[in-house]
Amino acid sequence: MGKRDYSPFGADAKRAVDSGLTAAEWYHTEVPRKVMKDLMARSDGPAIRDTILLYGSMILLAGIGIALWPSWWSAPFWLAYGVLYGSASDSRWHECSHGTAFKTPWMNNWVYQIASFMIMRNSATWRWSHARHHSETYLVGRDPEIAVMRPPELAKLILNFFGILDVLKFFPTLIRNAVSGPTAEERTFVPESEWGKVQRVALIHLTIYLATLGLAVALGSILPLMVIGLPRLYGAWHHVMTGLLQHGGLADNVIDHRLNSRTVLMNPISRFIYWNMNYHVEHHMFPMVPYHALPRLHEVIKADLPPPNRSIAEAFREMWPALKRQLLNEDYFLKRDLPPTAKPYREDFHQYVPGMMRPAAAE
Amino acid sequence: MPWISACSTDDIDAEDLIRWDHGAQTFAIYHSPDGQFYATAGRCTHEDVHLCDGLVMGHLIECPKHNGQFDYRTGEAKRAPVCVNLRTFPVKVEAGQVYVEVP
Ligand code: FES
């Protein structure tokens, strides 16, 4: 395929549309309607419990951090607070953007707004980018949420473990959004009716950051920034670690989530922070299933999926060599074996798209 | 416009929907929790996805692709990313059969 062009205005984006790839129907494992209805059922209980636990822990950890400040004894509390702020907010943002975390819409919306602020995403813009990520997952030039582009820029990936690139990109965009609404690129996926909302959200976020900064200057201390803003840097590593595993090293330009997404079994603490998004193939195939039902969905469809990685470490051991190979050959991707019970991968489509993924590239 | 028999009332569980195709058109037929029947266009107005795999909650249908929601009684778009309302069609029930007035 040669050099990939990730621009929404580039040749690959155009080719994905012209070839019919963007309109093609994605593969789904068959699940009886009654079972699926049961899995999709909404409830408030699990998310209320988890939200109280999350925000309660954050208040407690930040409180201890402030009480012990500026002693180094406060560091472990900040590190734990940072992970909840800078990483758990990613999964809360994600699940609430789907509207599946809670049954009650206003609860989804409130947690979505708070999480969007913490993870430094404009809540009005990112709702739309994530819809595109689901329609056109890892279609080059079309999916605005491709975390690992090819060839992978490993230095950038490592910098982002501390949120550095995300934050450097966020603030100029925030100011532009506050001044003039969505950027030209954002206007490709945010409908015009929402442009005013993008600007309003940006103004609110900007006001909070300016107030925090003002307080820090007035106190002559970075303490206010330790609570608001900086944890997006020092606590980002967990969401980057789990986020890379979602699709890293796997296929792009396919219409079968078993080829481009990864399910990883994880320890309970990471699953709490990540809100079960480690069941990533399952989530992409059936985005209506709430996070708390994903383990059950996994049991229902696992005979049709490649076996999950059994730990975060094992998944990295699988992904990292693939990323390194992509440095030399950007067409390379990992193609995991399916169990004998599974239907074959849906890759027929690609044989009709000149230059798109060739199974031979996966040898 | 003709009334066409689409299905029997027993074909749809309460608080659920089915797909019904007629000629070149495709519809979604709903059985609400209060025992009423409704019909809308079958495909979401956001992208070309059929609503039949979606979830009925009360009087809302949630699209299976991006969780957009419509009130299936009026077709009103209720939750992003859907912005355009869904077309609705008159329905009547006679002798256990659901009839849709198709255009
Ligand atoms: S296709 Fe229905 S919400 Fe996107």
Give the mean pLDDT of chain A. Answer: 92
Cα B97 from Cα A215, distance rounded (Å): 68
Of B57, B64, B83, the CB nearest to A193: B83
Residue A2 pLDDT: 66
Instruction: Quote the ligand 1 centre to A268 CA distance (angstroms).
Output: 32
Q: Tell me, what's the pLDDT at A357? A: 47
Q: Is 90 exceeded by the pLDDT of residue A154?
A: no
> Which ipTM was obtained for this model?
0.87
How would residue A200 be classed by pLDDT, with cut points 50, 70 and 90? very high
Average pLDDT over residues A233-261: 95
Report percent pLDDT > 70 for chain A: 95
Whether the CB of B82 sits within 6 Å of ligand 1: yes
pLDDT tens-digit map of A171-198: 999 999 999 999 998 998 888 988 999 9
Pairwise CA distance, residues A204 & A177, whole Å: 11
Query: Could you tell which of B17, B40, B44 is best to mutate to test the pocket of ligand 1, judged by most ligand atoms within 8 Å of the CB?
Result: B44
Query: pLDDT tens for residues A92-113?
Result: 999 999 999 999 999 999 999 9
Nearest residue of chain B to residue A41 (CA atoms): B55
A68 domain residue, yes or no: no
Q: In this predicted model, what pLDDT tens digit does every residue of A74-94 receive, in sequence order?
A: 999 999 999 999 999 999 999
For chain A, positions 100-129, list CB contacts with chain B under 8 A: 100, 103, 105, 127-128
Residue A45 included in any domain: yes
CATH of the domain at B33: 2.102.10.10
pLDDT bin (cut points 50, 70, 90) of residue B100 is very high
Structural domain contains residue A175: yes
Q: Please report, for residues A87, A272, A282, B10, B103, the alpha-carbon distance to residue A44 in angstroms, rounded to integers and kept in the order given.
A: 22, 16, 21, 31, 41
Mean pLDDT of A264-292: 97
Asked if residues A62 and A81 have their Cβ atoms less than 8 Å apart, the reply is yes
> Nearest by CB to A288, which of B46, B62, B80?
B62
Write out residues 83-102 of B within 8 Å (CB-CB) of A: 83
Q: Give the mean pLDDT of A27-53.
A: 96
pLDDT at A355: 43
Only one residue has tokens 């940072």, namely: A82
Which candidate in A122, A135, A289 is best for mutational testing of the B interface (most B CBs within 10 A)? A135
Q: What is the pLDDT of residues A311-348, one digit of tens each?
A: 999 999 999 999 999 999 998 999 999 999 999 998 76
Residue A150 has pLDDT above 80, yes or no: yes
- How does DSSP assign A74-119, residue by residue? GHHHHHHHHHIIIIIHHHHHHHHHHT-S-SSHHHHHHHHHHHHHHH
Give the model's confidence band at A128: pLDDT under 50 very low, under 70 low, under 90 confident, else very high. Answer: confident
Q: Bigger pLDDT: A359 or A342?
A: A342
Query: What CA–CA distance (Å, rounded) separates A216 from A244?
Result: 34
The B25-31 sheet, strands edge to edge: B16-22, B25-31, B37-41, B88-89
Question: Which string of DSSP letters, residue by residue, matches A301-336?
Answer: HGGGSPPPBSSHHHHHHHHHHHHHHHHH-TT----P
**Tens digit of pLDDT for each residue in A10-19?**
998 998 888 8
Task: Report if residue A3 sits inside a domain.
Answer: no
Total number of domains constituting chain A: 1
- The reply to whether residue B81 touches residue A134, judged by beta carbons under 8 angstroms, is no
Question: What is the C-alpha radius of gyration for chain B, rounded to an integer number of angstroms?
Answer: 12
B81 within ligand 1 shell (Cβ under 6 A): yes
In a domain, A270, yes or no: yes
Please tell me which of the candidates A42, A135, A193 has its beta carbon nearest to residue B65.
A135
Compute the average pLDDT of residues A140-148: 87
Taking the C-alpha atoms of residue A36 and residue A254, their distance in angstroms, rounded to an integer, is 24
Tens-digit pLDDT profile for residues A279-306:
999 999 999 999 999 999 999 999 999 9
Which pLDDT does position A352 carry in this prediction? 43
Task: Name the residue range of residue A180's domain.
Answer: 11-54+137-361
Across the range B42-47, mean pLDDT stands at: 94
Residues A144, A10: Cα–Cα separation, whole Å:
13
Domain that holds residue B91: 3-101
Residues A118, A276: Cα–Cα separation, whole Å: 20
Residue A114 domain flag: no
Q: pLDDT at residue A362 above 70?
A: no
Query: What is residue A350's predicted lDDT score, i.e. its pLDDT?
Result: 55
Classify residue A126: in a domain, yes or no: no
In a domain, A289, yes or no: yes
